[in-house]
Amino acid sequence: MFQTFETVSQPETGAARLADLRGALADAGLSGFLVPRADMYRGEYVASHDDRLAWLTGFTGSAGFCAVLPERAGVFIDGRYRVQVKSQIDLAVYDPVPWPETKLQDWLIENLPDGGEVGFDPWLHSFAEVDTMVAPLREAGIRLVSGPNFVDRIWADQPAPPMGLITAHPDDLAGESSASKRARLAEVLSHAGQSSTVITLPDSIAWLLNIRGRDIARNPVPHCLAILHADETVDLFAHPGKIDDDLRAHLGEDIRIAPMDAFDSALRALNGPVRLDRDNAPFRLTEILNEAGIAFEWGADPCILPKAQKTAAEIEGARTAHIRDGAAMVEFLTWLDATAPSGTLTEIDVVTELECCRRATNRLKDISFETIAGSGPNGAIVHYRVTRDTNRPVKTGELLLVDSGGQYVDGTTDITRTVAVGDVGADERRCFTRVLQGMIGISRLQWPVGLAGRDLDAIARAPLWMDGLDYNHGTGHGVGSYLCVHEGPQRLSRISEQPLLTGMILSNEPGYYREGAFGIRIENLIVVTPAPEGAVEAGRSMLCFETLTYVPIDRRLIEVDLLSKAEIAWIDSYHAEVLSRIGSHVSGPARTWLQAACAPL
């Protein structure tokens, strides 16, 4: 099994560890310290070695941070984790803080009225994160102090950094060679008059060099650092144990490989100006370049946008991976429908069987994230992870929310289906239908070129708003190509300003969550494509979405009377396509189940 069910969160240790940290800060003369969920590579996902936030507080969410002061310690969490955090931290010593509604600098000013010095590890924060706070904090007499990581000083049994082997990713699956990518980006640097750019994001380096890694569970990325030069060469910094002769041959002579401890001196030897990403590059990079007197300029990581616009080969790989994954999901749903009414299943049984179905494809490299299988009230925990302590029976008369995905060498999948176990209430069905209407609205949409995710997000929420409902997460995130299941810059979100571009893969996942009762989410992956000719006025350019995910939606939960004729037609057409694409890839019993599940409304 890729997924395990041990209880990782240890809220009972929070008070003692917090006391130890405060003692270390007092000895250093600091009034506080910031503990983000981040590592020096600035990716979303961290290895056990870098999971300082979870170790200190018990909170295991994928986003958040803690601010520790002498009298208060705040754990800042967004809308996805408002329920989860309550059960994972010691509420006697940690305060959940709604973020981004509450800005960190405002919280610090309120809780340090006499001023002071707040420490931070410059490898774990971007320049933008720090710079945003400096001026208002200075006015309040608070100074941010760059320095050592005090959590590491008190973490006696901190795990070692990961040492996964770095491997080649085939050019035919990437759709473009590394040499071609480097030439494209080097031209961007030359045009800007920049000599080089420092790249720290693991998925950016993986994309640029057509490599993959094993340092982060569920995400096939390597922990390494890179400097791309305007002459199309790259300096790659990685632990020697991660490099073998096959990788050296793949990288070629234009990629110079050096150990990690050579990175500092390499930075100091650069000729400026050096391009840095203000939002992603660790703050420490600016300190090193300033110390060496090397000019640098702000500019986006040049890998991010081209990585988001998938090649034709990557899109075709995604289609193939989704047929394979869809067949596994149908086998799983067939089993679930036959077994769940017995009342003998638990959430762990659900997770285990689903992984077995994906493994049976003989192509699964990993799951793309920890499977979410929330029955009844656990479904209302947006990023719920079942453990042996929380494992709950799958009861009849309740909803079961299953959010899962697979990592295949030709694509990354992410799908959510909410299903009825036996007969459920009219309220649940109405809420489900409103969520479904939002998902259909995004699926059917076409829009003028130039619009961003924030311009489309409300389409998914409008049916819920009609009933006074909403959800506290974005409607969709970008997805990588055998890379991270969460990828930027593309998003369907109220705060996303990135225009949607052809080739971008996103999730389409509106939801609704009623704490203590049930949760609903329906998710397909979609790819941005030009709108069909004939559907657009002459001289006007528009885009639309192609659906990648083909798995039935539970018809038992649909209140047909709430749907428009166009929505009914979309569901029937979608289910006909599911049957056509998936039917020949499943077993006899699953095909019989699929035919019934895909019957017209």
Pick from 249, 284, 307: which residue ends a domain? Answer: 307
Which range (94-98, 390-394, 566-570) has the least confidence?
94-98
**Across 572-577, average pLDDT:** 98
**What pLDDT does residue 8 have?**
82
Residues 270, 313 within the same domain: no
Pick from 132, 154, 176: which residue ends a domain? Answer: 154
Residues 39, 135 within the same domain: yes
Spatial separation of the C-alpha atoms in residues 31 and 68, rounded to whole Å = 8
Does residue 404 form part of some domain? yes
Spatial separation of the C-alpha atoms in residues 584 and 44, rounded to whole Å = 38
Query: Within the chain, what is the greatest distance between any pair of CA atoms?
Result: 72
Could you list the residue range(s) of the whole structural domain that residue 480 is in?
309-597
What is the 3-state secondary structure of 1-32?
Answer: CCCCCCCCCCHHHHHHHHHHHHHHHHHCCCCE
pLDDT at 44 over 90: no
Spatial separation of the C-alpha atoms in residues 406 and 363, rounded to whole Å = 10
**What pLDDT does residue 115 have?**
93
Residues 199, 278 within the same domain: yes
Burial of 86 (0-12, 13-18, 19+ CB in 10 A): middle
Pick from 154, 187, 216: which residue ends a domain? Answer: 154
**Across 264-274, average pLDDT:** 97
Question: pLDDT (tens digit, 9 = 90+) per residue, 443-470?
Answer: 999 999 999 999 999 999 999 999 999 9
Spatial separation of the C-alpha atoms in residues 1 and 211, rounded to whole Å = 25
**What pLDDT does residue 119 have?**
97
Spatial separation of the C-alpha atoms in residues 315 and 425, rounded to whole Å = 40
Contact 512, 519 (CB under 8 A): yes
Spatial separation of the C-alpha atoms in residues 137 and 40, rounded to whole Å = 24
Compute the CA torsion angle 438, 219, 199, 285 (nearest 10 deg): 100
Sequence letter at residue 148: P
Number of domains comprising the chain? 3
Write the DSSP string, 260-303. GGGHHHHHHT--SPEEE-TTTSBHHHHHHHHHHT--EEE---TT
Which range (88-102, 284-298, 577-591) has the least confidence?
88-102
pLDDT at 1 over 90: no
pLDDT at 173 over 90: yes
Which ranges of 193-259 does DSSP label H, i.e. alpha helix?
A: 202-209, 245-251
Does residue 358 form part of some domain? yes
Residues 313, 297 within the same domain: no
Residues 325, 219 within the same domain: no
Question: pLDDT (tens digit, 9 = 90+) per residue, 323-378?
Answer: 999 999 999 999 999 999 999 999 999 999 999 999 999 999 999 999 999 999 99
**What pLDDT does residue 534 have?**
80
Residues 67, 205 within the same domain: no
Sequence letter at residue 477: H
**What pLDDT does residue 87 have?**
86
**What pLDDT does residue 535 have?**
82
Residues 421, 555 within the same domain: yes
Host H or E run for residue 525 = strand 524-530
Which range (3-7, 235-239, 368-372, 568-572) has the least confidence?
3-7
**Across 404-411, average pLDDT:** 98
**Across 52-62, average pLDDT:** 91
Q: What is the mean pLDDT of the chain?
A: 96
Confidence of residue 541 (pLDDT cuts 50, 70, 90): very high
**Across 481-491, average pLDDT:** 97
Residue 124 is part of a domain; what is its CATH number?
A: 3.40.350.10
Host H or E run for residue 118 = strand 116-120
- Proportion of the chain above pLDDT 90, given as a percent: 93
Residues 146, 185 within the same domain: no
pLDDT at 9 over 90: no
Spatial separation of the C-alpha atoms in residues 344 and 12, rounded to whole Å = 32
| 3-state percent breakdown (helix, strand, coil) of the chain, nearest 5 | 40, 20, 40
**What pLDDT does residue 80 have?**
84
Residue 468 is part of a domain; what is its CATH number?
A: 3.90.230.10
Question: pLDDT (tens digit, 9 = 90+) per residue, 411-441?
Answer: 999 999 999 999 999 999 999 999 999 999 9
Does residue 220 form part of some domain? yes
